[in-house]
């Protein structure tokens, strides 16, 4: 069954633990916030003068423990839960009425004498049953002191709102008429009254059930006895019967009708199979909605959804550096080829002009003094031109009787040769400049390729860091959800499943997930539940410690198991009761590690009483330690990504 608990957080946590042990799923939605009040000026005097203390709630026991250090006064408690809480706080003379306010009043009449002194009633600011008024006719003087206040929530808790909107509840529990009235008011204000048509209202008593008439619950059920155990039994019966049949209120007066002229409509519930099918259908609908809207999600979230959180980011479009270099080289080579073709054309033209000059020089009559021996040989055209240039350069100055006919041709040839020389030098300079330009272009191409490669690398690193930061943030979120589940004592299979998609390729995350897996299905006991269970464990351990072979010790052990007589607080010494007292003090201070160490140091004869509690406590510590490691590792990943 999926059960909504409206009690204050401490009681709700203990009830959720009990429900989880029975296979039910609890949704905690406290409608009240407990505030311990400072005792008024006359409280100490009234406490000293009273013959007994009356407690009508477990919160009253806690408020009394805060207001006074006295633990020896007789206490009459309304029910077993209140009595157990008082015993756990160190009160050693507690009697339970195992019922409601009327049962407590009857117990007072049976056990106490009005002439023995007044009674002290510790309660909250608001009371549903005035026990002083009930005992007034019997001659009892009752002084009521409000030592705590249960402040009502101003709006419906988010957990209750979400469960109602999703229609994911089978039962809503109420432990007081005030809680029922507050729930009805907040549900109407939130506009969710219609969501309870398939929900069963389960109250601890008919009086607590009465305000439920304002909501259209499917079924209204009151527990057979006004105890928490009776409420748990009713939930088990509802689960077995599939939430069907008439309201179970045997041996109790019928509650007021749910509405004037209207009877309670009882319909067959869905049962376990129907609830499972509806859960599957709801999961399919949610998954379909997620898949439809997936294209509109951010890229990082889509990656996490696909289970690729540990994979590197999609690579940037690949850029072939070899191809870039080849393109740049091809451009440079094309420029070189173009320059070479131009030079080849100009050289061809020069060669034609050299051949023409050579032919003209060959037709002139040779001058004996002006021809070098190598000029008369049959060399190639360029060699012949060079020979002519050298001959002209070596020609001696003109004599007194120069040859008149040679001056004009020689002068014209010298001009032509000078022009050719200048063009050759110009071509050499152009070729040298071209070589320098090509070398510069190649160097620039190499620098551009290197810059491009560096930019691509930097971009890839930036995207990888962004993805790692998103993954680390997601791991932190999972760690928070797991820590909350441990604090509430709930299963965390789904939360641990979220970690699987983030741990691909990460050995540390896989190791932590494997360590938490054995506890995921059932969860671990919360610290509050372990603290609430410890008084009973300590009582049993003391009984085991005294139960040796002697008759007297066995008898004392039996008495210890019935009557809670043990020391509390920071008791020194190595005795069993001293270590148990220090362990209980450590639990109240939130130090579960110290409490476990003290219990483990107890003698072997108490192992039967403490082994089950130690196993649950060790499971809590182990799971908490792994979740803390997960959170620390996630913070480390986030720091590395940034």
Mean pLDDT of 413-431: 74
> Which range has the worst mean pLDDT, 264-278, 383-397, 564-578, 624-638?
264-278
Q: Is the confidence at residue 420, as pLDDT, over 90?
A: no
Checking if the pLDDT of 51 tops 70, the result is yes
- Domain assignment present for residue 275? The answer is no
pLDDT at 76: 94
158-to-28, 31, 47, 95, 477 alpha-carbon distances in Å: 10, 11, 41, 38, 18
Whether residues 41 and 82 fall in one domain: yes
Residue 119 and residue 17 share a domain: no
Long-range contacts of 313-316 (CB under 8 A, 24+ apart): 313/460, 313/463, 313/464, 313/466, 313/467, 315/460, 316/456, 316/459, 316/460, 316/463
Say whether 301 sits in a helix, a strand or coil: helix
R_g (Cα) of the chain, nearest Å = 49
User: Would 289 be classed as within a structural domain?
Assistant: no
Q: What's the pLDDT band for 502 if we cut at 50, 70, 90? A: confident
CA 352, chain centre distance (Å) = 89
Judged by DSSP in three states, 174 sits in strand
How much is the pTM?
A: 0.37
Exposure string (b/e) for 197-209, b if CB count within 10 Å is 16 or more?
ebbbbbbbbbbbb
**Candidate ranges 122-126, 257-261, 559-563; pick with highest mean pLDDT:** 122-126
565 domain residue, yes or no: yes
- Residue finishing a domain among 250, 268, 286: 268
Q: Is the pLDDT of residue 313 over 60?
A: no
Residue 158 sits in the same domain as residue 148:
no
- Does 78 share its domain with 22? no
Per DSSP, 259 falls in state B
Indicate the pLDDT class of residue 264, thresholds 50, 70 and 90.
Answer: very low
**Helix ranges, 25-112 (H):** 43-49, 58-67, 80-88, 101-111
- CA-to-CA distance for 499 and 472, rounded, in angstroms? 11
User: How many domains does the chain divide into?
Assistant: 4
264 vs 447, residue with greater confidence? 447
Positive or negative: CA dihedral 628, 630, 631, 632: positive
Report the share of the chain in percent with pLDDT over 90: 8
Of the listed ranges 193-197, 262-266, 585-589, the one predicted with least confidence: 262-266
User: Is the pLDDT confidence value at 346 over 90?
Assistant: no
The helix/strand/coil state of 117 is coil
What is the band of 317 on the pLDDT scale with cuts at 50, 70, 90?
very low
Last residue of a domain, one of 118, 152, 186: 152
Does the pLDDT value for residue 293 go beyond 80? no
Please state the rounded mean pLDDT for residues 163-171.
88
Q: Which residue has the higher pLDDT, 151 or 373?
A: 151
178 and 110 assigned to the same domain: no
Residue 336: pLDDT over 90:
no
- Residues 328 and 262 both lie in one domain: no
Question: pLDDT grade, residue 201 (50/70/90)?
Answer: very high
Cα(623)–Cα(517) distance, integer angstroms: 9
Residue 489 falls inside a structural domain: no
Q: How far apart are CA 315 and CA 102, in angstroms?
A: 75
239 and 358 part of one domain: no
Residues 181 and 257 in one domain: yes
What CATH number is associated with residue 170? 3.40.50.10090
Q: Which residues pair with 202 in a beta bridge?
A: 173, 221
Strands 142-152 and 32-36: antiparallel
Q: What is the pLDDT of residues 174-183, one digit of tens each?
A: 988 888 988 9
User: pLDDT confidence of 255, banded at 50, 70, 90?
Assistant: very low
In a domain, 281, yes or no: no
pLDDT at 566 over 70: no
Question: Which residue range forms the structural domain that includes residue 221?
Answer: 2-31+154-268
Q: For 98-120, what is the mean pLDDT? A: 89
* Same domain (yes/no): 347, 441: yes
Listed in sequence order, the residues at least 6 apart from 302 whose beta carbon sits closer than 8 Å to its beta carbon are 294
In the DSSP assignment, the letter for residue 523 is: -
- What's residue 258's pLDDT? 39
Q: Do residues 370 and 433 both lie within one domain?
A: yes
- Say if 76 falls within a structural domain: yes
Tell me the two tokens of residue 327.
Answer: 């393109």
Do 117 and 180 lie in one domain? The reply is no
pLDDT at 118: 92
Residue 564 lies in a domain: yes
Same domain (yes/no): 386, 455: yes
Summarize pLDDT for 57-107 with one digit per residue, the tens.
888 888 898 888 888 889 999 888 888 888 888 888 899 988 888 889 999
383 within a domain of the structure (yes/no): yes
Region of poorest pLDDT, from 79-88, 214-223, 236-245 = 236-245
pLDDT for 541 = 81
| 8-state DSSP, 504 | T
Single out the residue of 100, 93, 95, 105 nearest to residue 134, CA to CA. 105
Which of 122, 152, 182 corresponds to the end of one domain? 152
Q: What pLDDT sits at residue 429? A: 76
Please give the order of strands across the beta sheet that includes 171-174. 25-28, 2-5, 171-174, 200-203, 219-222
């Amino acid at each position: 069954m999926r059960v909504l608990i409206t009690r204050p957080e401490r009681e709700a946590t203990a009830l959720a633990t009990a429900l989880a042990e029975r296979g039910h799923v609890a949704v905690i939605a406290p409608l009240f916030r407990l505030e311990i009040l400072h005792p008024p000026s006359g409280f100490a005097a009234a406490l000293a003068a009273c013959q007994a203390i009356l407690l009508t709630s477990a919160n009253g026991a806690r408020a009394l423990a805060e207001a006074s250090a006295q633990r020896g006064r007789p206490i009459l408690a309304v029910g077993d839960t209140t009595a157990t809480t008082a015993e756990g706080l160190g009160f050693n003379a507690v009697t339970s009425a195992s019922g409601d306010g009327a049962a407590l009043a009857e117990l007072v009449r049976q056990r106490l004498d009005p002439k023995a002194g007044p009674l002290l009633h510790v309660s909250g600011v608001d009371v549903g049953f005035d026990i002083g008024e009930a005992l007034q006719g019997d001659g009892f003087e009752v002084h009521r002191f409000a030592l705590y206040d249960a402040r009502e929530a101003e709006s419906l808790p988010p957990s209750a709102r979400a469960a109602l909107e999703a229609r994911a509840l089978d039962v809503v529990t109420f432990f007081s008429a005030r809680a029922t009235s507050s729930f009805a008011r907040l549900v109407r204000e939130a506009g969710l009254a219609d969501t309870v048509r398939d929900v069963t209202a389960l109250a601890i008593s008919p009086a607590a059930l009465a305000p439920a008439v304002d909501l259209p619950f499917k079924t209204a059920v009151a527990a057979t006895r006004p105890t928490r155990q009776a409420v748990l039994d009713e939930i088990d019966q509802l689960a077995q019967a599939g939430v069907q049949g008439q309201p179970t209120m045997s041996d109790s007066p019928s509650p007021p009708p749910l509405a004037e002229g209207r009877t309670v409509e009882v319909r067959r519930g869905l049962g376990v199979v129907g609830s499972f099918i509806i859960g599957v259908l709801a999961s399919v609908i949610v998954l379909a909605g997620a898949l439809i809207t997936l294209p509109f999600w951010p890229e990082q979230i889509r990656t996490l959804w696909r289970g690729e959180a540990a994979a590197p980011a999609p690579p940037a479009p690949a850029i072939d550096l070899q191809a870039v270099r080849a393109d740049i080289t091809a451009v440079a080579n094309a420029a070189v080829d173009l320059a070479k073709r131009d030079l080849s054309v100009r050289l061809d033209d020069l060669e034609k002009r050299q051949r023409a000059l050579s032919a003209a020089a060959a037709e002139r009559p040779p001058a004996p003094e002006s021809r070098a021996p190598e000029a008369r040989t049959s060399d190639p055209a360029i060699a012949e031109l060079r020979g002519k240039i050298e001959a002209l350069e070596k020609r001696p100055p003109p004599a007194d009787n120069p040859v008149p006919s040679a001056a004009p041709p020689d002068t014209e040839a010298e001009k032509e040769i000078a022009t050719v020389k200048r063009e050759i030098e110009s071509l050499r300079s152009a070729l040298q400049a071209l070589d320098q330009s090509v070398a510069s272009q190649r160097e620039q191409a190499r620098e551009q390729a290197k810059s491009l490669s560096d930019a691509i690398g930097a971009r890839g690193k930036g995207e990888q860091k962004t993805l790692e930061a998103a993954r680390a943030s997601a791991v932190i979120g999972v760690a928070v959800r797991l820590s909350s589940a441990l604090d509430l004592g709930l299963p965390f299979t789904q939360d641990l499943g979220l970690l699987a998609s983030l741990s691909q390729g990460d050995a540390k995350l896989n190791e932590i997930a494997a360590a938490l897996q054995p506890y995921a299905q059932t969860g671990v006991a919360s610290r509050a539940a372990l603290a609430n269970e410890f008084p009973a464990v300590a009582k049993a351990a003391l009984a085991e410690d005294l139960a040796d072979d002697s008759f007297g010790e066995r008898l004392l052990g039996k008495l210890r198991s019935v009557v809670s007589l043990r020391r509390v607080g920071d008791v020194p010494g190595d005795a069993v009761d001293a270590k148990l007292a220090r362990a209980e003090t450590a639990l109240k201070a939130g130090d579960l590690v110290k409490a476990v160490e003290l219990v483990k140091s107890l003698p072997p004869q108490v192992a039967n009483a403490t082994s089950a509690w130690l196993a649950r406590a060790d499971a809590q510590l182990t799971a908490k330690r792994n979740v803390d490691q997960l959170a620390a590792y996630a913070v480390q990943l986030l720091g590395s990504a940034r």
